[in-house]
Amino acid sequence: MKPIIGVTSSFKDERTMSVSYDNIDSITAAGGVPLVLPNLTDKGQAEQIAAQLDGLLVTGGGDIDPTLFGEEPHPGLGVITPARDVFEINLIREMMKEGKPVLAICRGCQILNIAAGGDMYQDIYSQIGRQLLQHSQKAPRSHASHYINVAEGSLLKQITNQEKYKVNSYHHQAVRNLAPEFYVSACSTDGITEAFESREHPFVIGVQWHPECMTASGDQPSLLLFGAFVEACRQTNKRQRTTV
């Protein structure tokens, strides 16, 4: 049995779901079965969905409501989708409660951190008082535009077997203070947190870049990351079947 992996969705408008096929294709190529999820605000529904999944891919998208971490909207804040915020927080918490794998991408890593008690920069260029790289690249989405440094001993280092490599970049928000259970596993050369991992769960990883846009071009770190994620979901599927 291939693992069933939930894929969170964006709002194209207030009544239309959307998700990039890069997410679908990356999961499928790694051996998983993707299931696109609607943004349901009822906590009980999120719990029922989590019970049926072997893993969760939290995708990229728009900005996040800053009142979720106790701040007022900054002038640099973009469009928010409150229903998506609520659904993803409820679902992430339930997946982590059940010890199931989570891979969170770009906006996804930010909402993962908030769900666990952390916070974020609403706009890095106006809130960080130092020179930054171009984190919203003017290049094709598959192009790796800047370097990250990967922490020794991290799961990301174990997966990729690389301590420095290039990633793509499409964001103006970023993780600020990590939730207590997380640790930084990669940074860009300007000090932005590019990846973090859980100290308590076997596979909960947030990445600030978009590896799903790089798998089709054969980018090895991206392929290895999705491969490891789907394999972790497969092990969850196996455990669930043996306990039924």
Interval 185-204: pLDDT, tens: 999 999 999 999 999 999 99
Residue 146: active-site member:
no
Q: What whole-number distance in Å separates Cα of residue 231 and Cα of residue 235?
A: 6
Q: What is the pLDDT of residues 137-179, one digit of tens each?
A: 999 999 999 999 999 999 999 999 999 999 999 999 999 999 9
Catalytic residue among 194, 210, 213, 231: 210
Pairing state of beta strands 146-150 and 164-167? antiparallel
Of the residues 88, 94, 106, 233, only one is catalytic, namely 106
Q: What is the rounded distance in angstroms from the CA atom of residue 202 to the CA atom of residue 129?
A: 35
E strands in the chain: 4-7, 10-13, 16-18, 33-36, 55-58, 102-105, 120-121, 146-150, 164-167, 174-175, 182-188, 193-198, 204-207
- Is residue 210 annotated as part of the catalytic site, yes or no? yes
pTM: 0.96
Output the pLDDT for position 244: 53
Phi, psi of 80 (to 5 degrees): -110, 160
The residues that bridge with 80 in the sheet, in sequence order, are 63
Q: Which of 88, 94, 197, 212 is catalytic?
A: 212
**Residue 98 is a catalytic residue:** no
- Split at pLDDT 50, 70, 90, the class of 56 is very high
Instruction: Tell me the β-bridge partners of 182.
Output: 198
Tell me if 227 sits within 8 A of 28, measured CB to CB: no
pLDDT band (50, 70, 90) for residue 234: very high
At residue 27, the pLDDT reads 98
